[in-house]
Amino acid sequence: MNNFITLGQFIIEKQAEFPYAKGELSRLLRDIGIATKIVNREVNKAGLMDILGSAGNTNIQGENQQKLDVYANDQFISALRSGGECCIVASEENEDVIHIDSPVSKSAKYIVAIDPLDGSSNIDVNVPVGTIFSIYRRKSTNGKASLSDVLQKGTEQVAAGYVIYGSSTMLVYTTGCGVNGFTLDPSIGEFCLSHPNMKMPENGVIYSINEGNYVHFPIGVKKYIKHCQVEDKLTNRPYTSRYIGSMVADFHRNLIKGGIFIYPSTAAAPKGKLRLVYECNPLSFIAEQAGGRATNGTTPILGLEVTELHQRTPIFIGSNAMVLEAEKMMVLTPGNEYINDLA
């Protein structure tokens, strides 16, 4: 008798706690889980196949698409299409929303926003990459679902999760009742519950930020970096700097060990780099569900108005106490002007 719980079993058990649930969300999560295993297989053999490198296309963000980006995008969309529980998909890799017009998804009430392969520029050097997803309920009641159904605030998320393709592959998700993590056991091809009820430490000693952009940071961010580097035995400073450049990996480490991840606005990118709908909102939902905090420096990410599919936002995400400390410095600097000095 095995004493582990698989992702499939866990989803069904959770569904049973809601007697009126029809199982649609459970099936949607299952579909995402299946696509994840297929993507995992390809990510793992990336070095063996002629699959490394660029697909030669440029996506809507003007970024070079990697072959595995395209592959992962296709896998998730095809799993959602055949599953029938999703009416519209918003993906980092597609300029517009994708309508799922299959016969089974006619009355589907869920919307999925996804970054199929985040950090994909790291694939060539064997650094962990990830998938990030978010699930919303459709708001419109008749006709085809449309972009306006996707442009919902993060507070409206029904579920969110990420997969980290790392030294092991993990799927971490929330439906708003805590956060649970599952590790893929390759020998049986199943995600098994390995990290039940995950909690982000209230405080930490790790800060993650691309310090190469330092001169372009707002003064509040510079002050916070200085704060992290100053010696203070009482608060365990100086902190440790860790930046992988793969948001899922940086976030995952900080979720487990405690820490803060910052991708602020910069002089060159005043709106920040990371995307609200399929990167920041899902990870912020998970952070909050694990007891952490996520803001754009002044306002909670989940409360931000969403006006564009590929909208960007600055983000400060991680242990509650660390994000609060960073926010204090942002507020202390009226306007957070861009001053390119090293003060």
Task: Between 115 and 190, name the residue whose CB sits nearer to ligand AHM.
Answer: 115
What separation in angstroms does the CA of 231 have from each of 122, 235, 240, 315, 325? 33, 9, 12, 26, 16
Among 42, 55, 63, 98, binds ligand AHM (CB under 6 A): 63
Task: Between 118 and 250, name the residue whose CB sits nearer to Mg ion.
Answer: 118
Task: Between 63 and 185, name the residue whose CB sits nearer to ligand AHM.
Answer: 63
Query: β-strands 293-295, 315-318: how paired?
Result: antiparallel
Among 118, 149, 288, 327, binds ligand AHM (CB under 6 A): 118
- What does 190 bind: ligand AHM, Mg ion, none (CB cut-off 5 to 8 Å by kind)? none
Give CA–CA dist 203/300, Å, rounded. Answer: 18
3-state secondary structure of 50: coil
Residues forming the site for Mg ion (CB under 5 A): 115, 118
Q: Among the candidate windows 116-124, 142-150, 252-260, 326-334, which touches ligand AHM by CB under 6 A? A: 116-124
Q: Which helix (H) or strand (E) holds 163?
A: strand 159-165
Task: Between 87 and 326, name the residue whose CB sits nearer to ligand AHM.
Answer: 326
Residue 317 · residue 326 · CB < 8 Å: no
Min CB(178)–ligand AHM separation in Å = 25
> How many binding residues for ligand AHM (CB under 6 A)?
11
Give CA–CA dist 112/133, Å, rounded. Answer: 7
Min CB(247)–ligand AHM separation in Å = 3
Task: Between 108 and 262, name the residue whose CB sits nearer to ligand AHM.
Answer: 262
Site string for ligand AHM, 86-105 (x = CB under 6 A): ------x-------------
Residue 154 · residue 304 · CB < 8 Å: yes
Residues numbered 32-61 forming contacts with ligand AHM, rule: CB under 6 A: none
Q: Give me the count of residues in the chain.
A: 343
Q: How many C-beta atoms surround the C-beta of residue 280 within 10 A?
A: 29
Q: Who contacts 141 (Cβ-Cβ below 8 Å, separation ≥6)? A: none
Q: Among the candidate windows 13-21, 113-121, 171-179, 184-192, which touches ligand AHM by CB under 6 A? A: 113-121
Task: Between 10 and 207, name the residue whose CB sits nearer to ligand AHM.
Answer: 207
Could you identify the residue written with the tokens 């199943």?
190
Task: Between 29 and 317, name the residue whose CB sits nearer to ligand AHM.
Answer: 317
Q: State yes or no: residue 210 binds ligand AHM (CB under 6 A).
A: yes
Residues numbered 276-335 forming contacts with ligand AHM, rule: CB under 6 A: none
Give CA–CA dist 148/151, Å, rounded. Answer: 5
Give CA–CA dist 99/224, Å, rounded. Answer: 43
Task: Between 83 and 318, name the residue whose CB sits nearer to ligand AHM.
Answer: 318
Site string for ligand AHM, 234-273 (x = CB under 6 A): -----------xxx-------------------------x
Min CB(63)–ligand AHM separation in Å = 5
Residues numbered 143-202 forming contacts with ligand AHM, rule: CB under 6 A: none
What are the start-end ranges of the H helices in the chain? 7-16, 24-44, 67-83, 147-150, 219-229, 247-257, 281-289, 320-332
Residue 223 · residue 332 · CB < 8 Å: yes
Give CA–CA dist 192/182, Å, rounded. Answer: 5
- What does 36 bind: Mg ion, ligand AHM, none (CB cut-off 5 to 8 Å by kind)? none
Q: Using CB under 6 A as the criterion, which residues of the chain lie in contact with ligand AHM when the complex forms?
A: 63, 92, 115, 118-120, 210, 245-247, 273
